[in-house]
Structures are given as structure tokens and as C-alpha cells.
Amino acid sequence: MGRLNGKTAIVTGSGRNIGRAIAELFASEGANVIVNGHTNRANVDEVVEGIRSRGGNATGFMADVSKPDELLAMIDAGEAEFGAIDIAVSNVGRRLRMKFEDISIGAWQDILNTNLNSAFYMAHFLVPRMRARNWGRIIHISGYDGFTGHFSERAANVTAKAGMHGLTKAIAREAGIHNITCNTVVPGAIQTVRDEKEYAHVNVERVLDMLAIKNFGQPRDIAEACLYLAADSGQFITGQAIHVNGGEYMF
């Protein structure tokens, strides 16, 4: 306990599922947490109230992180309440399922802006502040289709998630001299609340058969990987992709 005492973390898309698990675990380890949502205030409030009820520190902020001005406003508000942000987790993602030839220019730009550009915006605003303190942790939540390309009809998401790890490596190379690490955590088959029509093409039994560990992962599994990177345990790890996929794919 207390591995993140004195640190402040911002976790985008933390009103439910993986983001929520990360926010709750970080808070349980002593971090002040900025919980973010975009459309559902009730979810954000529930996470914040739950953290506070367990003795942790959290604040909620509604922001569309694909819009730089809204993201910057959230960062400034979080720092006004808790002080400097030490840990940034970019977790927001949309998984549009659409045949490549049916993707409009607008839909393509929207997915890349939400899934990839938002991670750039976060780092753009926070790396200079982390550099001034000579410490920081940046974590990008990608997806294994960005590495395997095994899902069809997800060209925009596959592109964004692959690009996210490229961004990770670029930041890691330039920021390491300032004691700032940047890594990617790559979820595999994780049980989450989601829009099932976007996953109608997934054969659940086939996925289970491919897993070396014969059960689906949980959001907490991703959160534990993030904690490992965010705490002192991750001080010599940067530019890496940590795959949390039960052995479905091995890299």
C-alpha cells in the first residue's frame, strides 16, 4: 500500500471499465486522482464518491479530450486542486466497426482525434511540466488489434492504436533524460461493459480456446500493469508495450 503516495494522476475515460479500475487502484495506493468522463457525469461522480468513501482523494472533470482546450482546462483544474500532475494515463478510445470503403473522411478523423491525437495533446501539455520537476510517468492504453490487425472492419482504430505506440517510443526517447518514462499497456480479451453490436463478429469460444490462461481478463489486470509502470518499480522501463492478453498472442 502507498506506492503512489504524494503523486497526482490523471486518467482519461475513467468513468467505467479499464479507466475506472486504474483510477481506483491508483487512489488505493495513495495517489490523488483526476477522474475524467465525457458524456456520463453520473459514472464519474460514482467513481469519485467511491474513492472518497474509501479514504482516497479524487475529483471529477467532464472533458472531451479530443479537444485540446477542454483537456488543458481539466489539467489546470486538477493541478489547482492537487498540485502538479505526475502520472498521465491516456485511456480514451472509440472502436468504430465499419468496412474500410465505407469510412467517411469525417469518421476517420474523429476516431484518430479521439484515440490518438488525445494522447499527443496530453503529453504535449504535461511533458514540459514534468520536465521542470524531473519526474513523470506517461501511460498509453492501446489495444492488441493495433499490433496484430486481427479484427476486420476497424481500420481507423487499428491505425490509431498502432500510432499510439509509435508516439510512446518517440516520447520515451526524448523525455527519458528528464526522468520521464512513457509506455504502452495493451489489453487483450478483457471483460468490460460495452456495446455488443460492435463485437458481433467475435467468436467468444474461439477466443477462449486461443487463450493460454483459460478465462477472460478483468479491468483490474490492466490497472495492475499501469501501477507497476507508474510506481518506482517502473523507473527503468520506457518505450515498451506491455501486453496483457492471457497469452492469446505472444510477442
- DSSP collapsed to 3 states, 68-124: HHHHHHHHHHHHHHHCCCCEEEECCCCCCCECHHHCCHHHHHHHHHHHHHHHHHHHH
Buried b / exposed e along 54-73 (16+ C-beta atoms within 10 A): eebebbbbbbbbbbeebbbe
Residue 216: predicted pLDDT: 94
Residue 75: predicted pLDDT: 98
Average pLDDT of the chain is: 95
Please say whether the beta carbons of 30 and 2 come within 8 A: yes
Residue 57: predicted pLDDT: 98
* Alpha-carbon span 9 to 2, nearest angstrom: 14
Query: Which residues have C-beta within 8 Å of that of residue 248, sequence separation ≥ 6?
Result: 144, 188, 189, 207, 210, 211, 212
Given a cut of 70, is residue 49 above it in pLDDT? yes
| Mean pLDDT of all residues in 49-68 | 98
Residue 214: predicted pLDDT: 93
Q: What pLDDT digit, counting tens, does each position of 241-250 carry?
A: 999 999 999 9
* Alpha-carbon span 76 to 143, nearest angstrom: 29
| Mean pLDDT of all residues in 86-99 | 92
Predicted model pTM = 0.95
Q: What pLDDT digit, counting tens, does each position of 57-66 carry?
A: 999 999 999 9
Residue 195: predicted pLDDT: 57
Domain spanning 8-244, CATH architecture? 3-Layer(aba) Sandwich (3.40)
Given a cut of 80, is residue 106 above it in pLDDT? yes
Q: What percent of the chain has pLDDT over 90?
A: 89
Residue 1: band (very low, low, confident or very high) from pLDDT cuts 50, 70, 90: confident
Please state, in angstroms and as integers, the Cα–Cα distance from residue 32 to each residue in 14, 137, 160, 185, 204, following that order: 14, 14, 29, 21, 37
Comparing C-alpha atoms, which of 7, 8, 35 is closest to residue 21? 35
Please state, in angstroms and as integers, the Cα–Cα distance from residue 248 to each residue in 114, 145, 162, 193, following that order: 27, 12, 18, 21
Given a cut of 70, is residue 199 above it in pLDDT? no
* Alpha-carbon span 130 to 217, nearest angstrom: 32
Given a cut of 90, is residue 175 above it in pLDDT? yes
Could you state, in order of their start, the residue ranges of all structural domains in the chain? Answer: 8-244
Residue 167: predicted pLDDT: 98
Please state, in angstroms and as integers, the Cα–Cα distance from residue 239 to each residue in 33, 91, 192, following that order: 24, 17, 27
Higher local confidence (pLDDT), 172 or 194? 172
Residue 193: predicted pLDDT: 78
* Alpha-carbon span 115 to 166, nearest angstrom: 13
Q: What pLDDT digit, counting tens, does each position of 115-158 carry?
A: 999 999 999 999 999 999 999 999 999 999 999 988 899 999 99
